[in-house]
Structure formats: structure tokens, C-alpha cells
Amino acid sequence: MAESDHRIANNLASLSGVIRLQRNAISRSRRSFTTEQVCMLLDDIDARIVVTAKLHKSLARAINVNGVNLGDFLEEISRMIGSLNPEGRMELTVDHSCDTIIDPRHALHAGLITAELLTNASKYAHPTGLPVKVNIRCETKSDGSFAVEVTDDGIGFPENFDPLTDGGLGFQLMRALANGLGAELQFEHSSLGVCARIVKPRHLAS
């Protein structure tokens, strides 16, 4: 129970940091928000809370309480994000070879980044409102390394947009989460879509 409480406290602290980052970004922008925009911001916060809750549900069900199956966790998150969109807006497929148990904190960071990528795809991949096709693929290895790939068939990024330095709060959040995870964010994009990868190297000996 003590270990469980410690893990929950750490993950809630991570979630609090994410919300605080969003709050500070809004404060610095000094923008006025419409009711619709406020609802979208609250929906984003709600999704992050649900991601954290699903992690702890996965841990509660797991035989190995020291870790979580990344593939199952990401699939559950993906279905949840897909259900938040109007029917028909996202066609989601999940292809994973993630049978290895990974650290819960690593799973949380990967899950939050994946949720941001899915949310971005649903909002921006097809401005005309066409359904976006998204594929999620992940691989894990026994040394603790893993990779998650999220691909969509949208219009790609705007001209001269660098996802490693540019973008709003969502991209800032993904970069901060990847940095905390010790992972690399990689992006390939064209007019035929975006392919984003989270690449977490193996644990290094201390």
C-alpha cells in the first residue's frame, strides 16, 4: 500500500506539473478565450486526468505490480481519445508488439504524449472535417527501451514549421514530457501526413 500511495503521489505530481505548464502558458499569452475555447482547454485537462486514471487501473489489474504493459495501455488511451471525437472523425488502428512490462512513470509520459498527438491529429490533420486515419504502433524490448509511432494521413505541418522548436502549448508539453522521460521526439511530415515517434533508449547503468 505504501508503494502504491507513493506511485500515485508521484503521478499526480506529474499531472499537476502538466496543468501548471498549461496555466502559465495561458497567463503569458494574455489572450481572451471564448466559451468554446475554454471548453476545449477543459477537455484537454480531462483527457490527461483520464490517462493517469487508466494507468492506475492498469496497474491494479496487473499481475506484475511494478510495471504496465505499454501496448495495452496505449490501446486503451487511443480508444478513449477516439471516443471524445464526433463519430466518424477518427479512424484508429493499433498495431503493437509491446508485451514487455515497463516502468509506470515511463508509461504515463508516453501515454500523455500519445494523447497529445492523437488530439492534434483530430483537430488539425483535416481542416475540412474529413475523417483522419491514424495508426499507432509500438515496440518494447527487455532492456527497458521502447518506441511509439503515431501516423496520420492529414495535410502535414505548415510551411517552415519545426515541431522540435515551434508550436503552441501541446508541442511544448510533448517536448517537456519527452525530456523528463529521457526520450527523443522525431517527426517526419509531408502533404500526405505526419509520422511522430517517441524513442526511449535503454536504461543506462549508473
How buried is 81 (Cβ within 10 angstroms: 0-12 exposed, 13-18 middle, 19+ buried)?
buried
Average pLDDT over residues 32-42: 82
Residue 204 has pLDDT above 70, yes or no: no
pLDDT reported for residue 127: 86
Query: Cell for 26?
Result: 495561458
Domain ranges of the chain: 2-200
Query: Cell for 183?
Result: 526520450
Q: What is the mean pLDDT of the chain?
A: 82
**Is the entire prediction scored with pTM above 0.85?**
no
Confidence of residue 107 (pLDDT cuts 50, 70, 90): confident
Q: How far apart are CA 167 and CA 172, in angstroms?
A: 7
Q: How far apart are CA 166 and CA 164, in angstroms?
A: 6
Residue 40 has pLDDT above 50, yes or no: yes
Residue 3 has pLDDT above 60, yes or no: no
pLDDT reported for residue 206: 34
Residue 137, sorted as left (phi over 0), alpha (psi -120 to 50) or beta, turns out to be: beta
pLDDT reported for residue 10: 66
Q: Are 6 and 56 in contact (CB under 8 A)?
A: no
Confidence of residue 85 (pLDDT cuts 50, 70, 90): low
Residue 115 has pLDDT above 70, yes or no: yes
Confidence of residue 62 (pLDDT cuts 50, 70, 90): low
Rounded (10°) CA dihedral 119, 169, 29, 21: 120
Confidence of residue 4 (pLDDT cuts 50, 70, 90): low
pLDDT reported for residue 152: 94
CATH of domain 2-200: 3.30.565.10
Closest to 125 measured CA to CA, from 42, 28, 192: 192
pLDDT reported for residue 60: 67
Give per-residue pLDDT as tens, 63-81.
555 688 888 888 888 888 8
Residue 175 has pLDDT above 50, yes or no: yes
pLDDT reported for residue 205: 42
